[in-house]
Structure 1
Amino acid sequence: MVKLAAKCILAGDPTVGKTALAQLFRSDGVHFQNYTLTAGVDLVVKTVPVPDTGDSVELFIFDSAGKELFSEMLDKLWESPNVLCLVYDVTNEQSFNSCGKWLEKVRAQAPGTTLPGVLVGNKTDLAGRRAVDSAQAQAWALGQGLECFETSVKEMESYEAPFHCLAKQFHQLYRERVDAFHTLV
């Protein structure tokens, strides 16, 4: 049984639901938090079991403000990430369009490494106001090497899936590195 630790960067524009997603995940669906502006960075820590392994990954989720105002501070806090959770609002096309900028910013903190990640479209409960097509998001995510999810934090739908995916991706990278090491010995 192995317990790994992974630094997860939660990135996206303001008001897309990053904090609510992280808080709901940490509380196992018990605590839905209405929107409050994150000033700087909040840290959420949760251990995620990796299915069929007996292993687990402790995710250190850095929930950061989506405002450029905090940009310099983010550069320091975002150093050496292991996984990325990129969030946009399905009712806000600009928040989806900004994902490329956020992805570039996070990947710049881990040059030359594989950075597993997920793209999460939040607020699916607002179906009548949807501005970003699921297929469009899926295609973009695939092109960036990201897994794609949609969720409604408000309705508590699919909020765990992105983080379980991240834990599994990180664990898989770990296993590949261990196997590569064993072939050298």
Structure 2
Amino acid sequence: MVKLAAKCILAEFFIFDSAGKELFSEMLDKLWESPNVLCLVYDVTNEQSFSNCGKWLEKARAQIPGTSLPGVLVGNKTDLASRRAVDPEQARAWALSQGLECFEISVKEMDNYEAPFHCLATQFLHLYREKVGLFQSLV
């Protein structure tokens, strides 16, 4: 007879930063076999960085086809308001259409920089609890 015990299940929350560079694209394929949550960051003063978020989202979702991938879209450098190139409402609408939460931050000014990480941790914890519940229902 085999007895299963699942008193303690560990979860690890890793964050990989590709800096949006193609150079890291191949490396990421090896690092993120099946991501749980996603954080896409763009520069609010750079329209191309915002456009690239769609490509990175597709790449991440390709790792886990048929599964939703929660996460956040983060616009950084709000301290450079006079150079803004990405409309916040456009970014918010795109994020919501992709099932992502949306934040704007300024790391330089330390404005709202913690909010996306709290959201990601909450999303990860929710997924973790779902998986633990599923596992416990099987035991």
Q: TM-score range by the shorter chain?
A: 0.7 to 0.9
Tell me the equivalent position of 2:129. 175
User: Which 5+ residue runs of structure 1 have no aligned equivalent?
Assistant: 7-59
2:18 counterpart (64, 67, 71)? 64
2:50 counterpart (96, 109, 122)? 96
How far has the Cα of 1:104 moved from its partner? 0.4
- The residue correspondences of 1:99-178 to structure 2 (distance < 5 A) are 99-178=53-132
- Kindly name which structure, 1 or 2, has the bigger radius of gyration based on alpha carbons: 2
SS of equivalent residue, structure 2 residue 12: strand
Q: Considering only aligned residues, what root-mean-square deviation do their CA atoms show, in Å?
A: 2.0
How far has the Cα of 1:110 moved from its partner? 2.1
The question of 1:5 aligning with 2:12 is answered yes
SS of equivalent residue, structure 1 residue 112: coil
**Residue identity in the other structure for 2:11:** L
CA distance in 1 between counterparts of 2:10 and 2:112 reads 24
Larger helix fraction of residues: 2
When residues 70 and 183 of structure 1 are mapped into structure 2, their CA distance, relative to the original with a 3 A threshold, is closer
Larger strand fraction of residues: 1
Aligned residues: 132
When residues 69 and 183 of structure 1 are mapped into structure 2, their CA distance, relative to the original with a 3 A threshold, is closer
How far has the Cα of 1:181 moved from its partner? 4.7
How far has the Cα of 1:61 moved from its partner? 1.0
CA distance in 1 between counterparts of 2:122 and 2:11 reads 11
Identical positions, percent: 80
CA distance in 2 between counterparts of 1:113 and 1:65 reads 25
**Normalising by structure 1, what TM-score?**
0.65
